[in-house]
Chains A and B, each alone.
Chain A
């Protein structure tokens, strides 16, 4: 953490190799199902990363993340349906979705972030619940639970093309968020997570920083929603349900809070488990309720591994490294102490 991030550090090289593998993947393996699955994983990875800005970095629990996701999905769906279905409209709809989500998250944030964690969680849940009901009732625009299909832009008829676009966006979002959390602003957010009272007494207006975090998270979630709508070429009110929030939450918790890689790994775990476990349901009916297993794993994870997969591994790694360092470098560190 302390040393400056090198461009060619070991973890960056690993990430780069994974990225290359992901780019090469559709050209090597010609599997439609797998391409679609990985596209889903990437999209939910974006959503989970945005959620982690709130949960992992700022330490606020929002249960209303689905509303921003849903806004993005509906913006894209409605605009592609009503206007010409071109790549321009697609980009425009993403921007419109992001702006609406940004404004909404700003208002919601201002209204609710003054409150303690409990109230915030509850209120975001209530607001997104309300938005869901509005969407269900406002059938002229949303067509309610039946939803509607629309034509995706011509370019995205090719699944591989869409896959690459999503991958590129994921990389952009990842780098942008990485910059965001390691900027001074991001450091303040981490300080808020660790001890809000102390951050306040250091002179930071914590509300202002929390609102920024919530806007950033909302905007990115809207992007994920737009991509999700295009990947399905269909949208209904399920994009606004609690389940979307829960997915993001599970991914973040199981993958590891407070890291950007964690949510991505969580997304891989949850999406592929969802895919394969619901496949198993044909033989074992209990797997139709696979969410139970996740619920239980999630509860256990909150109690025993609150840091998730990545966090726990990281901790183990640091412990191991410290041990090694202690064995080898004890005299050096002592020297340092004495030279001070």
Chain B
């Protein structure tokens, strides 16, 4: 029982991190029909920017804010310079965002150095609680709570506010939204920047969790996020939460019981989903 609880906590924490990354990816895809292969680059930029400001100021909150700002700025630049010229052309989008990923990843090495940076958990969140025989690591609980807050917040924005209505309508049918006199281009920019910021936050939260950051990390997590987006269904916000938790839990249980299968399990889930439901488990209605 104790074991199961701690495995569940591990799985949920990993799942939440992947969710933050996948949420932006899925929204951007659902709305703009752009699959952002540079998402991992934004993730790792968030991690570096956040951790360096955390090390500089000593405040993890400031680190998170720095990551958000970095994400927003990079998202803005990317949308304007890189995504805009290739709207509607899938092959070019894939190629160009992958190139961006490459540049972002190498830029990390130029700005922050090519070495692995060790990261310590902030003092307030370090250590663990002991409940009976179960040891609960505080930081993991923090990630889980943070993830659910983000989910709640976005769920609220998407379902209860006007901007959320526009975004959801845009996912369904962007021509119609445009015909109603809404500047969809601005919504695109807004969603892209938000997605980038979410990826950056995921990066900075992941850093103390894994204990070390390096430039190639972005790619590794981006692959997990891609798997999650495929399982959950492109463009579906709830789907990506569900799939992220599924992938997180499957990973943590497999890592304990059948270690050599722990990475294959994601692929197996994905293959099964693709064979039986190629559109993903949850799919946003497309008009």
Contacts and interface: CB of A to CB of B under 8 A. Distances in A.
A246 B102 contact: yes
A299 B103 contact: yes
A117 interface: yes
B180 interface: no
A117 B91 contact: yes
Given A126-B267, A130-B263, A249-B95, A114 B278 contact: yes
B164 to A, nearest CB: 24
B274 A112 contact: yes
A329 interface: no
A116 B220 CA distance: 23
A242 interface: yes
Contacts of B264: 130, 134
Interface residues on A, range: 35 or more
A262 B29 CA distance: 32
A291 B102 contact: yes
B99 A302 contact: yes
B35 interface: yes
Interface stretch (B119-127, B140-148, B223-231): B223-231
Contact of B96 (A117, A119, A289, A302): A302
A294 to B, nearest CB: 8
B138 interface: no
B92 interface: yes
B91 A126 contact: no
Interface centre among B29, B102, B229 (most CB of A within 10 A): B102
Interface residues of B, number: 39
B13 interface: no
Given A61-B95, A289-B110, A295 B103 contact: yes
A59 B94 CA distance: 12
B90 A125 contact: no
A61 B267 CA distance: 20
Contacts of B82: 299
B284 interface: no
B11 to A, nearest CB: 19
A296 B226 CA distance: 24
Interface in B99-114: 99-100, 102-103, 106-107, 109-110
Interface in A123-140: 123, 125-127, 129-130, 133-134, 137
Contacts of A130: 263-264, 266-267
Interface in B248-267: 260, 263-264, 266-267
A292 interface: yes
Interface in B221-242: 223, 226-227, 229-230, 234
Interface string A297-312: 0110011001000000
B271 interface: yes
A44 interface: no
Which secondary structure dominates where chain B touches chain A?
A: helix
B4 interface: no
Nearest to A299: B99
B192 interface: no
B270 interface: yes
B219 interface: yes
Contact of A298 (B85, B91, B99, B226): B99
Contact of B94 (A121, A126, A133): A121
Contact of A126 (B95, B102, B110, B226): B226
A302 B95 contact: yes
Contacts of A117: 90-91, 94
Contact of B109 (A289, A295, A306): A289
A197 to B, nearest CB: 14
A292 B103 contact: yes
B270 A134 contact: no
Nearest to A137: B260
A130 B270 CA distance: 12
Interface in B116-169: none
B29 A118 contact: yes
Interface string A52-82: 0001000101010000000000000000000
Interface of B: 29, 35, 37, 82, 85-86, 90-92, 94-96, 98-100, 102-103, 106-107, 109-110, 219-220, 223, 226-227, 229-230, 234, 260, 263-264, 266-267, 270-271, 274-275, 278
6 contacts: A61-B95, A114-B278, A130-B264, A249-B95, A291-B106, A298-B99
